[in-house]
């Protein structure tokens, strides 16, 4: 039986089903983001345009291709069903952060995340449609449990947090230092993708998915390395990073 805490966490997955609507809203909001109010955290000012109802506030229940027998779910489907919302949440963060980031390296990274991971999600959706009959990720509780068993990327809470677009955006919007907040959110987010992809390299049934996972590892590890370099610069300059 799934513990009550996990059942509560699984209700948050509803936000992922309407991610396309949320991203469209965030893209439109980006054009409206102007200067910052004095005394207000820059990220919070930027996110004021995000005050329209978010996808996560709607009650949709379970979504996606719920398998008839969760025990028969192939690893590749579990990987895709994790990576689609996981990519979606970091795209939402990057869309929100881009207008207020000040470090050109972070601005470029946010742009790269939006372009690269949007294209990757399109590829994953295509494969899921071809291999499993639907492009929609399964989000039922049994599949989520299997996902975590197949790819031990941490606790259920940690995995859900990194897959939750609303959580990522709201955390960023509450931050006083947009650049530092972006760094601190992207590093653990990327690490989850790397950990899951390392399993996929070994266990993927479709060779093309293993190649995909290798690309994820290479690209996101390079971005983590750059973010750690920027943190080291902050520390050398005496900027608090915790």
Handedness of CA 159, 164, 169, 175 (dihedral sign): negative
State the total domains in the chain: 1
> 31: how many CB neighbours lie within 10 A of its CB?
9
Tokens of 52: 């329209």
Does 101 map to a domain?
yes
Does 195 map to a domain?
yes
Nearest-angstrom CA–CA distance, 108 and 73: 37
- Chain segment 162-207, per-residue pLDDT in tens: 999 999 999 999 999 999 999 999 999 999 999 999 999 999 999 9
List Cβ neighbours of 216 (8 Å cut-off, separation of 6 or more): 83, 120, 193, 194, 197
| CATH at 138 | 1.20.1260.10
Q: Give residue 81's domain range.
A: 4-30+41-47+70-236
Does 53 map to a domain?
no
* Coil/strand/helix, residue 136: coil
Does 94 map to a domain?
yes
- Chain segment 22-36, per-residue pLDDT in tens: 333 333 333 333 334
Does 52 map to a domain?
no
Longest dimension (CA), the chain: 56
Tokens of 42: 């820059």
Does 54 map to a domain?
no
pLDDT (tens, 9 = 90+) of the chain, 242 residues, equals 333 333 333 333 333 333 333 333 333 333 333 334 445 555 655 576 554 333 333 333 344 555 445 568 999 999 999 999 999 999 999 999 999 999 999 999 999 999 999 999 999 999 999 999 999 999 788 888 999 999 998 888 888 889 999 999 999 999 999 999 999 999 999 999 999 999 999 999 999 999 999 999 999 999 999 999 999 999 998 888 77
Nearest-angstrom CA–CA distance, 91 and 114: 5
Does 141 map to a domain?
yes
User: pTM for the full model?
Assistant: 0.76
Does 198 map to a domain?
yes
């Amino acid at each position: 039986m799934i513990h009550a805490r996990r059942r509560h966490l699984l209700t948050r997955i509803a936000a992922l089903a309407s991610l396309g609507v949320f991203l469209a809203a965030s893209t439109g909001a980006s054009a409206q983001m102007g200067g910052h109010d004095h005394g207000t955290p820059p990220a919070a000012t930027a996110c004021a345009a995000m005050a329209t109802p978010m996808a996560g506030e709607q009650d949709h229940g379970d979504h996606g291709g719920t398998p008839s027998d969760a025990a028969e779910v192939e690893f590749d489907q579990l990987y895709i069903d994790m990576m689609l919302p996981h990519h979606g949440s970091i795209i939402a963060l990057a869309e929100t952060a881009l207008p207020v980031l000040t470090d050109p390296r972070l601005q470029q990274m946010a742009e790269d995340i939006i372009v690269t991971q949007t294209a990757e999600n399109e590829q994953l959706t295509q494969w899921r449609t071809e291999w499993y009959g639907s492009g929609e990720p399964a989000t039922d509780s049994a599949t989520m449990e299997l996902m975590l068993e197949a790819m031990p990327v941490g606790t259920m809470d940690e995995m859900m947090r990194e897959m939750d677009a609303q959580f990522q955006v709201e955390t960023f919007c509450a931050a006083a230092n947009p650049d530092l907040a972006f760094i601190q959110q992207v590093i653990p987010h990327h690490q989850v993708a790397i950990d899951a992809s390392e399993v996929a390299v070994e266990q993927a049934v479709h060779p093309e998915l293993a190649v995909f996972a290798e690309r994820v590892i290479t690209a996101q590890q390079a971005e983590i390395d750059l973010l750690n370099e920027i943190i080291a610069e902050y520390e050398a300059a005496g900027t608090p990073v915790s």
